[in-house]
Amino acid sequence: MTEYQIYRIVLFGFLGVAVVTFISLFFITAPYGRHAKKGWGPLIPNKIAWVVMEAPASLLFFLYFIISDKSMTATLILLQLIWQIHYFHRSFIFPFMLKSDEKVSLSIIVFGMIFNSINTYIQGRWVYSFSPDGAYAAGWLSDPRFIIGVLIFAAGFFINKQSDAITRKLWDPLKPGYKIPYGGMYRFLSCPNYFGEIITWIGWAVLTWSFAGLFFVIWTAANLVPRARSNHRWYLENFPDYPKERKAIIPFLF
């Protein structure tokens, strides 16, 4: 069996897992953040947890770049930079910007590491090994799919980071706890950070024009849509004055 055959088994197998995860998370809320609960393993400080969970995505994608058997093009280099804009920041900068001292259960960290490792394998090996020869030649940079994808990616990245910045400013060490966020996309959504995350990876799927990228969008939505629904309900249950016009994750719809 060739590696590409194994790759396809992993890709389609984990698409099936995404469907199961999507359905399950409407009934079982992942126990971290405001939904944290005991019984899911030892608790790890959130800064360490974020680095351990997210670092595989940054480091492995760089590894696949280094061991690539393709002739290196400006496009392949730029794809590395675009990926790292998100994941280097998520792995090695964002954790140290956190102001809260919440802890994350070990099981959640392990699940996060597994997903990031598998997803990065799917994305990295496609871009740097299994994509057709010439698929990401230098001319791809002027292709409308690449340009539109980059713009979508940038919009999602901005929404995600702006939303994170708004919630960070709410954290008061003298009065810890969750508060109602306002501003940015919070005017419309309870979880604009999740909305931005999904938009980011839609952009990646378009700019790579790949089934691997679509895989990432499906998994992101499968994880974050049920989570947003749980967070939205939590806000409504815990804050009587919570804005009723807000939706969970899709403006004006859901």
Instruction: Report domain extents, the chain.
Output: 3-238
pLDDT at 148 over 90: yes
Mean pLDDT of 208-230: 97
pLDDT at 189: 98
pLDDT at 28: 87
Q: Which residues pair with 104 in a beta bridge?
A: 44
Mean pLDDT of 83-112: 92
What is the rounded average pLDDT for all residues in the chain? Answer: 95
pLDDT at 38 over 80: no
pLDDT at 92: 97
Mean pLDDT of 160-176: 90
First to last CA, the chain: 44
More confident residue, 69 or 240: 240
Burial, 8: exposed, middle or buried (Cβ in 10 Å; 0-12, 13-18, 19+)? middle
User: Rounded to two decimals, what is the model's pTM?
Assistant: 0.95
